[in-house]
Structure 1
Amino acid sequence: MIAWTRNGEWLELPLPSSGWKALKPGAIDELAAMLPVPSKYFLRLASKGLIRAEGDRIRIHAFPREAANVPPEPGKLDIVFEDDFCLVINKPAGMSVHPAEAGQKGTLAAAVAHYYMETGQACAIRHIHRLDQDTTGAILYAKNEWAHVLLDEHLRERRIHRKYEAIAAGRFKIAQGRIDAPIGKDRHTAGRRVVSPKGEHAVTHYCVLKRFAQAALIELELETGRTHQIRVHLSHLGHPLYGDTLYGGSSRDFHRQALHAKQLSFPHPITGEMIVASAHYPQDFSQLLDRLSHA
């Protein structure tokens, strides 16, 4: 475990060796080897005098004050995890993660910006991944460039793991399986995706957690991250999500897609410790499960 402390805008660490007196290129390489961040990031900071050896400690300017880059708007946040590097929010339904166009109101980004302002945190808004507007659950933010660089890298390398839970229509004949079907744009309906031989490679793993009379609660994990991947793949199997009218689901008992990002796990940007953040079900999802259980 790396022993680090925050002192205002600076991250402080014990010197990696007693011989450190100047920040020469070799010393930067030694520091980069000790900490899980690309050496180019450290070299850029060092070139600006933002890494310093002082006494028995190294000081890194890891927490500069930044503008939120999204106008803040008050909004209640369900915070699942937070420290100096990361923030995990349990996103509600009906809220876009980030503005799709100038002037869009009511986004999660604006609520996060307001939270940072209210708590005296001068952080830019850096979401690491997205969720559809009506999908609920855990979403990860980086609170500084250090975390952003590393978490983006982890996402590309599939070291950030996301587990979803969904309520799908019909009786699953197979309790668990792997859906390997390419996904492309629907030429006939804007914003819709379809399974297509000419589409992008897409793989989803599913497992039935609980069966109901004509539905199931299922857990899903993605090998790839295509737009609407879970919704398209389950519809392709003949088991559209409750409420997902875009992909053949019925809105009679639920008025949005019944999809929830239940768990998010990722290596911490400095300690490397695996952080596991679980987001509780929203009320409407829990109520649907209750109704199905008593049907």
Structure 2
Amino acid sequence: MIACVKTGEWLSGILGAEDAGMQLGILLREKWRLPKKTVHLLFQQKEVLLQGSPVAQHTVTEAGQEIRMRVCLPEPLGIEPVTGKLEVLYEDDHLLIVNKPAGLLLHPTEKAHRQTLDHLVSGYFLQQGIQAKVRHVHRLDQETSGAVLYAKHALSSALLDERLRLSLIKRTYLAFVHGRFTKKSGTINAPIGKDRHHPTRRRVSPGGDPAITHYQVINQYADAAKVECVLDTGRTHQIRVHLSYLGHPLLGDALYGGKPLGIARQALHAVNLQLVHPFGEKSIRVDCPLPEEMLRLERQLEG
């Protein structure tokens, strides 16, 4: 999609040669991949403008035309704002990437949960005057730390969700696991489903959802390893399940057979996030360094 500038409730940009000669409705739906319902409502409410005037879906585009869309309407935050420490790794008009500490829930799973990452992002939005619903694009387990992506308006959310579904958002994790690897790298393609013997645990199951994890051993220690993992899918507990399935549970991950050797929580961190920006096709790479407790663990293993 073209680079867009946010001005109040409107996004505006200039159509390029690659966007010319198409019916505008087709351009928005099929090339820019806006949701059909969103496109229908925008045209119905005369909130798509070319050169400052409302147009119909069948209008044929020309290079150099200014397009404006009213897609950034003020919204309630959707969750109670909480003021607290929030480490922002990247931000622009359309998206926000923050560092989630270990031990903090990403979003409330019960009414009693009043201190989650979503609550802190809501508080940040309130402080910054951002009138938008809090929308996380993907999730991390409570005891996993690292980079989390948020959308700052509904259209950005729809486009980022589509990129996530198509595996166009690359999420890289670092894990410290038990054991010695015989292969330095590989791909785990094993479906994941619920474990009917445990309320929260997952397991590799033929009837589960497709799940693909790519791994590479970064460092092999005496009886542990530092492993980089990249996800093609985003199943609950995916890395934890897949590495345990290989016989290499995460250090500190008691649910999947790991022991607390040098760390009291599962040794998993979302270290890197890469994506093509939904507005402008700019490549974004955000690094999130290992937290102190994992750096201490690394030093211990090296020693």
**Fold equivalence (TM over 0.5):** yes
Change (3 A) 1:3 1:194: closer
- Matches for 1:147-226 after TM superposition, within 5 Å: 147-226=156-235
Could you tell me which residue of structure 1 aligns to residue 44 of structure 2?
47
Could you tell me which residue of structure 2 aligns to residue 11 of structure 1?
11
Deviations 1:38-86 (A, max 9, x none): 4542331121132234287433212211111000111211111111111
Confirm or deny that 1:37 pairs with 2:34: yes
Question: TM-score of the superposition, structure 1-length normalised?
Answer: 0.89
The DSSP-based 3-state class of the residue aligned with 2:263 is coil
Whole-Å Cα distance in 1 between the matches of residues 132 and 171 of structure 2? 25
Whole-Å Cα distance in 2 between the matches of residues 27 and 206 of structure 1? 42
Confirm or deny that 1:61 pairs with 2:58: no
CA RMSD, Structure 1 to Structure 2 (Å): 2.3
The DSSP-based 3-state class of the residue aligned with 2:239 is helix
Q: CA deviation at 1:31?
A: 5.8
Deviations 1:199-229 (A, max 9, x none): 3333221100112222111001123322111
The DSSP-based 3-state class of the residue aligned with 1:177 is strand
Could you tell me which residue of structure 2 aligns to residue 138 of structure 1?
147
Deviations 1:248-269 (A, max 9, x none): 1112421110001111112211
Which deviates more, 240-249 or 58-67? 58-67
Whole-Å Cα distance in 2 between the matches of residues 249 and 281 of structure 1? 20
8 Å contact kept, 1:116–1:123? yes
Could you tell me which residue of structure 2 aligns to residue 114 of structure 1?
123
Q: Specify which of 279, 289, 295 is matched with residue 298 of structure 2.
A: 289
8 Å contact kept, 1:258–1:285? yes
- Kindly tell me the number of residue pairs found equivalent between the two proteins: 288
Could you tell me which residue of structure 1 aligns to residue 241 of structure 2?
232
Identity %: 43
Confirm or deny that 1:97 pairs with 2:94: no
Which deviates more, 2-11 or 31-40? 31-40
Q: Which runs of 5+ in 2 are unaligned?
A: 54-64
Change (3 A) 1:3 1:269: closer
Q: CA deviation at 1:184?
A: 2.4
The DSSP-based 3-state class of the residue aligned with 1:151 is helix
Whole-Å Cα distance in 1 between the matches of residues 88 and 287 of structure 2? 10
Which deviates more, 125-134 or 57-66? 57-66
Q: CA deviation at 1:116?
A: 0.4
Question: TM-score of the superposition, structure 2-length normalised?
Answer: 0.87
Whole-Å Cα distance in 1 between the matches of residues 120 and 3 of structure 2? 32
The DSSP-based 3-state class of the residue aligned with 2:226 is strand
